[in-house]
Amino acid sequence: MNELDSLVESATQLFAQSATPADLENAKAQFLGKSGRVTELMKGMAQLSVEEKKSRGAAINVAKQAIEAALTARRQALADAELQVQLKAEALDVSLPGRQRGQGGLHPVSLTLERIEGIFGSMGFDVAQGPEIETDWFNFTALNTPEDHPARSMHDTFYVEGGTDTAPNLLRTHTSPMQIRHAVQHVKKNRALLDAGQPMPEIRVIAPGRTYRVDSDATHSPMFHQCEGLWIGENVSFKDLKVIFTAFCRTFFESDDLVLRFRPSFFPFTEPSAEIDIQFQTGPLAGRWLEVAGSGQVHPNVVRNMGLDPEKYIGFAFGMGPDRLTMLRYGVNDLRLFFDGDIRFLSQFQ
Ligand code: PHE
């Protein structure tokens, strides 16, 4: 190997050993810098003859170009390596699933309440809201419920400290107090008409909400939902209840051949009274009678407590269980699932 070849080789080696761009620039200076070895060789040609300069100069140039090529290659290699390090540090796996934004939704019982309000709304019913902490008067007495009625016992009702006749003293056991509360407001609004002996606009209202009883198992929860319905006018009969409630059930369950049965029953605030049972003709529940509501013609004493003359005003009321309607609609077998807040259960209704 001649002197120039070994110069190229040692330059290439030194470049290869340079681990950083700064090292590489230092190595370059040793060969191509002002006092670098290639530059020194050029200077050394001063004493040579013209002929010798020609061939020696050409040979040095070849060596110089080889060194420059090695330098460029090493520069590129270092830049590539640096890029690789950077890419690795900023690595992004585009095949990973995106971070989901949790999507909220309505609780299945809320979906049912919305559905009930929509259907009764389309039949001309208002929606009323009332307090969950009630007075003895609205929850029992005004609804013709005698002092010794079992529903008033401590076993069935959550009482609150310090109640008086007018102060709230219990968690409402049903939404029926809303019959009185709403009717009283309605009568008040229409006082002038009534006093003038004019016909009063009919009362047509539903009142959904939370209710409470001392009860807890797979089909009973101490807190549950009810939806009251009330229709009072001068000429409202049990037939209207049948028509309205049949239309409601068929729409709610999207089942045109669903059948209703009015089973004689008793409530202090209605006379006569009936439990409303439904029967599906198809599907997993077909052929079974399922109780969905209590109902009846509003008792004259209750009409009187509304501030109306029972000789003139008559109507019906019903109370249904939205929790149970939700269970039937979706095939849920344990009421407690609605109140556990388990997202795996709830997300199935979105
Ligand atoms: N309030 C009754 C109950 O909770 C249901 C009902 C409402 C019955 C209206 C008749 C009329 O069982």
- Would you state the pLDDT for residue 166? 61
- Please report the pLDDT score of residue 165 as a whole number: 59
Tens-level pLDDT at each residue, the chain (350 residues): 688 899 999 999 999 999 999 999 999 999 998 888 988 888 888 888 888 889 888 889 999 999 999 999 999 999 999 999 999 999 988 898 888 887 789 999 999 999 999 999 999 999 999 999 999 999 999 999 988 898 888 888 999 887 665 667 999 999 999 999 999 999 999 999 999 999 999 999 999 999 999 988 888 899 999 999 999 999 999 999 999 999 999 999 999 999 999 999 999 999 999 999 999 999 999 999 999 999 999 999 999 999 999 999 999 999 999 999 999 999 999 999 999 999 999 999 98
pLDDT for the residue 270: 98
CB burial string 227-240: b at 16+ within 10 A, e below: bbbbbbbeebebee
**How many angstroms separate the alpha carbon of residue 176 from the centre of ligand 1?**
6
What lies within 8 Å, CB to CB, of 152 at 6+ separation is: 140, 145
- Cβ atoms < 10 Å from Cβ of 248: 24
Q: What was the pLDDT predicted at 49?
A: 87
Q: Is the pTM of this model over 0.75?
A: no
d(CA 308, CA 268): 18
For 289-349, give the DSSP string.
-EEEEEEEEEPHHHHHHTTS-TTT-EEEEEEE-HHHHHHHHHT---TTHHHH--HHHHGGG
**Cα of 162 from ligand 1 centre, angstroms:** 27
CATH architecture of 108-349: 2-Layer Sandwich (3.30)
Domain ranges of the chain: 3-89, 108-349
The answer to whether 156 and 173 are in contact (CB under 8 A) is yes
Instruction: Name residues contacting ligand 1 (CB within 6 A).
Output: 174, 176, 267, 270, 294-296, 317-319
- Strand 203-212 and strand 126-127: the pairing is parallel
Cα–ligand 1 centroid distance for 294 (angstroms): 5
* CA 245 / ligand 1 centre spacing (Å): 14
- Ligand 1 atom nearest to CA at 295: 10
Looking at residue 54, its amino acid is K
pLDDT number for residue 48? 86
> What phi and psi, each to the nearest 5 degrees, are found at residue 270?
-135, 150
**Atom 9 (ligand 1) nearest CA:** 318
Q: Give residue 203 CA to ligand 1 midpoint distance, Å.
A: 17
Task: Supply the pLDDT for residue 350.
Answer: 86
The angle at the Cα of 280, spanning 276 to 286, to the nearest 5 degrees, equals: 125
- The number of the ligand 1 atom at minimal distance from the alpha carbon of 229 is 9
Judged by DSSP in three states, 268 sits in coil
